[in-house]
A and B are shown apart, each in its own frame.
Chain A
Amino acid sequence: MGKRLLLRGNEVIAEAAIRAGCQCYFAYPITPQAELLQHMAVNMPRLGRTFIQAESELAAINMVYGAASAGVRTMTSSSSPGISLKQEGISYLAGSNLPAVIVNIVRGGPGLGDIAPSQCDYFQATKGGGHGDYHMIVLGPSTVPEAGQLTMLAFELADQYRTPVMLLADGMLGQMMEPVELPEPIEISSLPQKEWATNGAKGRDPNIILSFDLDPEVLKQMNLILQERYRQIEAKEVRYEETATGDADIAIVAYGTVARIVKTVIKMARAEGIKLGLFRPITLWPFPSQALKKLSEKVATVLTVEMSAGQMWEDVRLAIAERAETPFYGEMGGVIPTPQRILSEVKKHAG
């Protein structure tokens, strides 16, 4: 690890992508992720890699499809309305078994919304925002250093499972600065060869990449291959963090920046004698249902806190069923749940 630098979340995600061996980056500008694109604009050409400011979000995601087909590590980034435009392309990536990284620095919605931080794209990210029976791995960083680490991981998982991976962070994490030790760069030449890539068929049979077959039985088989892979991902790649849950009477489930705000609330609550803990999903898909189910057998109340109307809350209730009380507190439109606001919600349900 190198020295500590004070950097924005957006810059760290961009730099981590470079260090993960991202060779082609395509995007269209949008607030609040502009610094990510700026960092790539300055640094990718300097390294002899490809940076293209595309004419639209649709163009950018289809350039990603092309680069992924050619077997290189590739990424695009945007914010909510721009990510909506990319959904068709993401579905095609999933259907074609193509690895790629998509970054969503979420802002208030729906529609044009605003540019303030939000978590209102959870459904879109985790339930398949595009058409068809697909999932992608969704990672939710909580701090600026973790945004860097999970960007590196996103490229690893994308290649390993031949799937699109989304990094889902809100505008606050994109804009804020925090000390970070940047991850060590990987050697691009050390990455395993992608035997399936369409990178020149001289001396071998041509590879074909597509998400299409008119024969329902064949398309069913293609779907079963995807589903088999999703089961593997669910078995092996669930990630979460528990804080102060050992003796907790009440636990909050929160991800991303809301989870770090809750860490402050834990100190405030415990100073007042409320035994509060935090369960933080790091993978939003696959959702850590089993671990949360286990926790719900120990605590009386599991309070979900989100910057949305209760999107992750659905997964929380699916995991917990009737084992604990499952109240919800959310803010929308870019309003941030501050420590005091969360604490007063906790008090409503504690004891």
Chain B
Amino acid sequence: MDNSVVIAGFGGQGVILAGKILAQAGMNHGLEVTWLPSYGPEMRGGTANCTVVLSNDPVGSPIVDNPTALIAMNLPSLDKFESTVATNGVIIMNSSLIQRRRKQKDVRSFSLALNDLAQKVGSVKTINMIALGAYIKASGIIPLSTIQTTMAQMLKKDGKDKFIPLNRKALKEGYNALQE
């Protein structure tokens, strides 16, 4: 079974980076992956999203009609993608910014106050890692340690070593925050 996740939010919430880390971690875990961004004007402040497909087999389509998971960092993202989520799929919604409840019935939906959890960890900028940690828990596709190691390698490569401990903590916080 292919896992496919749409990560969507405002430009600046780090959805593109979260997707890259997920894809890289999936590859490091021995999976086939694709990462497809919504590129263009979205990158300059509007809504941004990316689609990550993780599979045991070579990935055909990098674009997905019905993702098995949606991470909605804000209300426009939930409005846009909620109805597309596959039956029994996962929705992780950011209740810090989304006041309404889910409309989809046949999904596993989790409301997490991503902004508040990120503040608790030490920086609101870590909301993407909080969300990613929660997704890892919900999907069970990649171990938390693999995501943490991959994140650290990628930040190190970009010379951002000093942010590694904070983001490591944020991934774990998100992982622990998600309860069935």
Residue ranges of A at the interface with B (Cβ–Cβ < 8 Å): 4, 6, 31-32, 114-116, 171-172, 175-179, 257, 260-267, 336, 338-341
A32: contacting residue among B23, B39, B60, B63, CB under 8 A: B39
B39 (CB) vs chain A CBs: closest residue: A175
Choose the segment among B5-13, B27-35, B73-81, B172-180 that binds chain A (4+ C-beta atoms closer than 8 Å). Answer: B27-35
Cβ proximity bits B23-54 to A, threshold 8 Å, 1 near / 0 not: 11001000011111101100000000000000
State whether B34 touches A338 (Cβ < 8 A).
no
State whether A175 touches B36 (Cβ < 8 A).
yes
A341 (CB) vs chain B CBs: closest residue: B65
State whether A179 touches B63 (Cβ < 8 A).
no
A176 (CB) vs chain B CBs: closest residue: B36
Q: Whole-angstrom distance between the alpha carbons of A178 and B64 in the complex?
A: 16
State whether A6 touches B33 (Cβ < 8 A).
yes
State whether A179 touches B32 (Cβ < 8 A).
yes
Q: Please, which residues of chain A bring their CB within 8 A of the CB of B36? A: 172, 175-177
State whether A115 touches B35 (Cβ < 8 A).
no
A171: contacting residue among B39, B59, B63, B65, CB under 8 A: B39
B61: contacting residue among A32, A178, A260, CB under 8 A: A260
State whether A338 touches B63 (Cβ < 8 A).
yes
Shortest CB distance A218–B (Å): 49
Q: Whole-angstrom distance between the alpha carbons of A177 and B32 in the complex?
A: 11
B33: contacting residue among A32, A178, A260, A267, CB under 8 A: A178
State whether B40 touches A261 (Cβ < 8 A).
no
Q: A176-B35, A179-B27 are contacts. A339–B61 as well, Cβ < 8 Å?
A: yes
State whether B61 touches A264 (Cβ < 8 A).
yes
State whether A116 touches B40 (Cβ < 8 A).
yes
Q: Please, which residues of chain B bring their CB within 8 A of the CB of A257? A: 62
Instruction: Give the total number of A-B pairs whose CB atoms are below 8 A apart.
Output: 72
Q: Whole-angstrom distance between the alpha carbons of A31 and B34 in the complex?
A: 20
Q: Please, which residues of chain B bring their CB within 8 A of the CB of A177? A: 20, 23, 33-36
State whether A264 touches B60 (Cβ < 8 A).
yes
A339 (CB) vs chain B CBs: closest residue: B61
Q: Whole-angstrom distance between the alpha carbons of A16 and B130 in the complex?
A: 37
State whether A263 touches B61 (Cβ < 8 A).
yes
A340 (CB) vs chain B CBs: closest residue: B65
Enumerate the 8 nearest inter-chain pairs by beta-carbon distance, A residue then B residue, closest first. Answer: A264-B60, A263-B60, A264-B61, A177-B35, A261-B61, A340-B65, A176-B36, A115-B40
Q: Whole-angstrom distance between the alpha carbons of A32 and B37 in the complex?
A: 12
Shortest CB distance A174–B (Å): 9
Q: Please, which residues of chain B bring their CB within 8 A of the CB of A4? A: 27
Give the one of A31, A175, A336, A340 with max B CB within 10 A.
A175
Q: A31-B40, A116-B40, A175-B37 are contacts. A6–B27 as well, Cβ < 8 Å?
A: yes
Q: Whole-angstrom distance between the alpha carbons of A177 and B62 in the complex?
A: 10
Q: Please, which residues of chain B bring their CB within 8 A of the CB of A32? A: 39-40
Q: Whole-angstrom distance between the alpha carbons of A32 and B24 in the complex?
A: 22
